[in-house]
Amino acid sequence: MSKISDFIGHSARENVQQALDKARSNESFNAILSYSEARAYERADKVDAGEITGRLAGVPFIAKDNFLTVGDTTTAASKFLENFSAPLQATAIEKLEAEGAICIGKANLDAFAHGGSTENSAFGPTKNAHDQSRVAGGSSGGSAVVVALDIVPFALGSDTGGSIRQPASFNGVVGVKPTYGTVSRYGVVAMASSTDTIGVLSATVEDSELVMDILSGQDRKDMTTLPDFFTPESISSPKRIGVIKEFMTEDVDSAVREKTTAYIEAMKAKGHVVEEVSLPLLKYALAIYYIVVPAEVSSNLGRYDGVRYGARAEDAKNLSEVYGLSRDRGFVSENKRRIMIGSYVLSSGYFDAYYLKAQKARTLLINEFNKVFESYDALVGPVAPTPAFSLGENTEDPVKMYLADIMTVPASLAGLPAISVPAGHTPEGLPVGVQLIGPRKSDALLLALAKDGEA
Amino acid sequence: MTTISTQDVLHLAQLSSLQLDESEIESLRTDLEGILGYIEQLSELDTTGVEPTYQVTDLQNVWREDTVDDYGLGRDQLLSLAPEADQKQIKVPKVL
């Protein structure tokens, strides 16, 4: 896989052309939903003429198709937005463009980012970069695969419960889910507002670090953004690392455990103090997540009404049918399940037992993390209980599919930074990632630990 | 164990403004029952006296000047996104 630096100092037009050629020769993976060819060449020529400069001058990238970009469609991999062309750009795209980066296309995802395999895309699943019979992971499956196939050195993704980390692990690339509030979400299709984050997938840790340095910072268009705290760092002294006991049980795939253990041994060899820690409440995280997130989804997806933008059911005879039929046809089954579960847990009579209960349990989970971080600088464990599973393996049973998120949702609920770092392959050649989780705003430290591990 | 009836599915669909096709109802019923069955395990956790967490930024009352900002978007641009528009307004079929 290439690094950002491999593209610097070359003709931007050639960089773009090579990336587009490579993308087109890999269409069987179904990782890309649309190309931004005209705009990409236009911007490349400006870079080559010296009109656009910056730390990413002439470097091609791909954005998950839930980032609004001008000039082409933003579909969120849904029928609802199949022909939607945004009138504005996401702040994240603007910041990358300001540094000279060139968006060449949009990556496939689970529709509205609901899923862990990219099989919920209305435009067909993305195939795993290492084995086309397996899933890409999700929901940022396309973003992970375009990096793994070396089409672009980095891609943008969004992570609400693991949607950057899990596909990064399944495809053998680096994936960064920052502290909640690090990167502006303005212009990104909203899913669950209290856990939605924007992050990056790349071939190297260093490149993720550079892109995070560019993306981080306050944006008055997203009132949840934090003042910029991200400064790249290096490891200068041994750290205290906790191995999450609950993530290393016999239920976890043996190759995943082996690779995680090898990564841990390498950390010890570097002089870090690594000890087992227990977080007993982690077993409730997935249940909390699948109450809180559907509740927020049901509210955020209320805007898709077939009135202001997106597809309207043409045979709707009155306003109520405009809503009902447009929504039924614009959403995939997983969208409907989440919206209906959200309606259920928020409805009168169930609110206290489900939604309020989950938000209280979330407090307990956060307290448990805080307590552990009094003694440890970071936590380590697998990203997912298995390597990439087969296409269709989990589609019949939504709960089975949700279990693929069991190790990634805890950091999301607590707003913690968490990254996925490649840690080798299974005997069948499937990539395995390890996850590093830290206290809020320790993003740069986690990346420094990962760089230390690469060296 | 929570059971979900066909009637429950239709009620939830109505709350969610989803006009479901007949063929979707039974599989949604099974799926919703399965998901609710899973999340129910939370009831075994004691949360007495615990404050709920609704957001994790620690930010409070982020103010801005009370001035109009159209974010660079004009009315025509936004109207052009609507499936149907007329006379500077978005058009829908009859309400009743």
3-class secondary structure per residue, A371-408: HHCCCCCEEEEECCCCCCCECCCCCCCHHHHHHHHCCC
For A168-264, strand residue ranges (E) read 174-177, 197-202, 240-244
Question: Least CB-CB distance to A339: which of B16, B90, B93?
Answer: B16
Which parts of chain B sit beneath pLDDT 70?
none
* pLDDT at res. A338: 98
Give the closest of B20, B34, B84 to A398, CB-based: B34
Contact A31, A145 (CB under 8 A): yes
B20 neighbourhood in chain A, CB within 8 Å: 328, 336
Q: What is the CATH number of domain A4-215?
A: 3.90.1300.10
> Is the reported ipTM for this assembly greater than 0.90?
yes
CA gap A93, A430 in Å, rounded: 31
pLDDT tens by residue, A256-279: 999 999 999 999 999 999 999 999
Closest by alpha carbon to A432, among A300, A262, A291, A316?
A262
What's the CA gap between A280 and A384, in Å, rounded? 18
- DSSP state at residue B32: H
Chain B residues lying within 8 Å of A342, measured CB to CB: 16
Q: What's the rounded mean pLDDT across residues A89-99?
A: 98
Output helix, strand, coil percentages for chain A, rounded to the nearest 5: 40, 15, 45
CA angle A192, A143, A11 (to 5 degrees): 135
Answer whether residue A343 shows pLDDT above 90: yes
Residue A455 C-alpha, separation from nearest chain B C-alpha, in angstroms = 34
Average pLDDT of the residues of chain A: 97
Q: Taking CB atoms and an 8 Å cutoff, what residues of chain A touch B51?
A: 360, 363
| Nearest CA-CA distance, residue A102 and chain B, Å | 22
- Report pLDDT for B58: 83
Structural domain spans, chain B: 6-44
Task: Find the helix or strand (DSSP H, E) in which B85 lies.
Answer: strand B85-86
Question: What is the structure's pLDDT at B61?
Answer: 87
Dihedral angle sign, alpha carbons of residues A138, A140, A145, A148: negative
Residue B57 CB neighbour total at 10 angstroms: 16
Nearest CA in chain A to B94: A318
What is the mean predicted confidence (pLDDT) over A230-244? 97
- Interface with A, mutate which of B5, B9, B18, B81 (most A CBs under 10 A): B18
Instruction: Give the DSSP letter of residue A222.
Output: B
Q: Is A84 on the interface with B (CB under 8 A)?
A: yes
Does residue B7 sit at the A interface (CB-CB below 8 Å)?
no
B 51-90 → A contacts, CB under 8 A = 51-57, 59, 62, 64, 71-73, 77-78, 81-84, 90
Mean pLDDT of A120-129: 98
Separation CA A241–CA A377 (nearest Å): 6
Q: Which of A378, A452, A448 is nearest to A411 (CA)?
A: A378
Distance CA A436, CA A177 (A): 10
Strand partners, A135: A127
Other CB atoms within 10 A of residue A73 CB? 17
Provide mean pLDDT across the span A426-454. Answer: 97
- B17 and chain A: CB distance < 8 Å anywhere? yes
Q: What is the pLDDT of residue A259?
A: 98
Nearest-Cα residue of chain B relative to residue A302:
B16
Q: Which residue has the tokens 């306003």?
A: A319
* Chain length of chain B: 96
Tell me the residues of chain A between 32 and 61 that have a Cβ less than 8 Å away from chain B. none
Instruction: Name residues whose C-beta falls within 8 Å of residue A191's C-beta, 6 or more positions apart in sequence.
Output: A112, A113, A114, A158, A160, A293, A296, A297, A300
User: Is A421 in contact with A201 (CB distance < 8 Å)?
Assistant: no
Contact list in A for residue B55 (CB cut-off 8 A) is 194, 224
Q: What pLDDT, on a 0 to 100 scale, did the predictor assign at position A455?
A: 67
Of residues A390, A100, A90, the one with CA closest to residue A219: A90
Assess whether the previous peptide bond of A163 is cis (omega < 30° from 0).
Answer: no
First and final C-alpha spacing in chain A: 17
Which secondary structure element, helix H or strand E, spans residue A11, and what is its range?
none
Partners of A415 on chain B (C-beta within 8 Å) are 56-57
d(CA A151, CA A142): 11
Q: Which amino acid is at A431?
A: P
Are the beta carbons of A195 and A408 closer than 8 angstroms? no
- C-alpha angle with apex A172: A168 to A174, nearest 5 degrees? 50
Which residues of A are catalytic, by number?
Answer: 64, 139, 163
* Closest residue in chain A to residue B29, using alpha carbons only: A337
Backbone angles phi, psi at A118, to 5 degrees: 65, 10
pLDDT of residue B59: 86
Check B82 against A397: CB less than 8 A apart.
no
- 8 Å CB contact of A220 and B83: no
Is residue A78 within 8 A of residue A114, CB to CB? The reply is no
- Neighboring chain A residues of B31 at a CB cutoff of 8 Å: 333, 337, 398
- CA–CA separation, A344 vs B32, rounded Å? 10
Which of A4, A172, A179, A178 is CA-nearest to residue A100?
Answer: A4
Q: Can you tell me the distance from the alpha carbon of A376 to that of A438, in angstroms, rounded to the nearest whole number? A: 9
What is the pLDDT confidence band of residue A23, given thresholds at 50, 70 and 90? very high
> Nearest residue of B to residue A280 by CA position?
B45
Distance from the A289 Cα atom to the nearest Cα atom in chain B, whole angstroms: 9
- In sequence order, what DSSP letters do the residues of A272-292 get, joined into one string? -EEEEE--GGGGGHHHHHHHH
Q: Taking CB atoms and an 8 Å limit, are A336 and B90 in contact across chains?
A: no
pLDDT score recorded for residue A1: 92
Backbone φ and ψ for A237, nearest 5 degrees, come out as -145, 160
Report the residue from A311, A318, A440 with minimal CB separation from B93: A318
Of the candidates A438, A420, A453, the residue with the CA atom closest to the CA atom of residue A169? A420
- Which uninterrupted H or E stretch holds A48? helix A37-48
Distances (CA, A) of A281 to A81, A410, A440: 38, 9, 19
Chain B residue at shortest CA distance from A415: B56
Q: Is A67 on the interface with B (CB under 8 A)?
A: no
- Predicted pLDDT of residue B72: 87
DSSP characters over A294-328: HHHHHHHGGG-SSSSSS---TT--SHHHHHHHHHH
Q: What is the mean pLDDT of residues A112-125?
A: 98
